[in-house]
Amino acid sequence: MNFLIALVLVLSSVSYASTKGKDTPSSAAGFQAIYPGTVTKITVTGTTARMGAGVGTAVTIFRVICTEDSYIKVGNSTVNATTNDVYLPADTVEYFGIQPGQYVAAIRDTVSGTCHIAEGQ
């Protein structure tokens, strides 16, 4: 039993040591929390809706939660969401990568609601 505990401790320290101090692209790095930034609400109906302005220059991730089942899409200032895009069930928190200046668009599944989008770094 003591051998197994020692083995687990050694393996966990090797795993930590092998990643400590290495540069990892933000798109591949894990995260535990984001620095919250601007929060935008968009009303989601049967027609696509998007943010009024693109995300900030330092934003690389955003958190979204919608009050009703919705579809989400990220893109430029003319982005339109359709029912073929990423499905987000109601009251589900999800995180997505995003490039500075991009927009988030959403469209409802069957019932209109609100999507709350929080920019993060």
**Structural domain of 111:** 34-120
User: In this prediction, what percent of the chain has a pLDDT beyond 70?
Assistant: 74
- Pick the residue with more confidence: 14 or 83? 83
What integer pLDDT is reported at residue 26 of this predicted model? 53
- Domain assignment of residue 85, yes or no: yes
For the chain, counts of helices (H) and of strands (E): 1, 8
Q: Are 59 and 120 in contact (CB under 8 A)?
A: yes
- Domain assignment of residue 20, yes or no: no
End-to-end CA gap in the chain: 43
CA distance 68 to 72: 12
- Domain assignment of residue 18, yes or no: no
Beta strands 49-50 and 103-108 are antiparallel
Helices (H), the chain: 2-19
- Domain assignment of residue 26, yes or no: no
- Domain assignment of residue 15, yes or no: no
- Single-letter code of the amino acid located at 62: F
Closest CA to 38 of 18, 17, 15, 54: 54
Lowest-pLDDT range of 1-10, 84-93, 105-114: 1-10
- Pick the residue with more confidence: 75 or 26? 75
pLDDT (tens digit per residue) in 39-97: 999 999 999 999 999 999 999 999 999 999 999 999 999 999 999 999 999 999 999 99
What integer pLDDT is reported at residue 29 of this predicted model? 60
- Domain assignment of residue 17, yes or no: no
What integer pLDDT is reported at residue 22 of this predicted model? 43
- Domain assignment of residue 5, yes or no: no
What integer pLDDT is reported at residue 43 of this predicted model? 97
| Two tokens, residue 8 | 């687990």
Mean residue pLDDT across the chain: 83
Work out how many domains the chain is built from and give that number: 1
Whichever domain contains 63, its CATH number is: 2.60.120
Q: With 50 as the cut, is the pLDDT of residue 9 above it?
A: no
- Domain assignment of residue 40, yes or no: yes
